[in-house]
Amino acid sequence: MRQFLVAITKEDDFFIARCPELNVTSQGETLEEAEKNIKEAIELYIESFGTEDLPQKVSKPYLTFVEVAHV
């Protein structure tokens, strides 16, 4: 069993789920559907490409907001 970082954001009418470690993206109309769909996308990625080329240890993510003026 392995965990992958997933970021889910609301964009218009959909929730967009991204796994930066694998560069995999999916979506859903609900948060739960997006989470289910990204899990399936990750599983399909692993079936196709394996995990041999991925780092064994993943650092903990640090997320923050940055405020930019005049944008």
pLDDT digits (tens, 9 = 90+) for 12-62: 999 999 999 899 999 999 999 999 999 999 999 999 998 888 777 777 888
Q: What is the pTM of this model?
A: 0.81
| Calculated CA dihedral for residues 46, 50, 54, 59, nearest 10 degrees | 30
Secondary structure letter of residue 58 according to DSSP: -
Residue 2 pLDDT grade (very low, low, confident, very high; cuts 50, 70, 90): confident
For the chain, what is the domain count? 1
- Whole domain around residue 51: which residue ranges? 1-71
Q: Which residues contact 28 (CB under 8 A, 6 or more apart)?
A: 14, 15, 17, 34, 35, 36, 37
Query: What CATH number should be reported for the domain holding residue 60?
Result: 3.30.160.250
The reported pLDDT for the residue numbered 51 is: 82
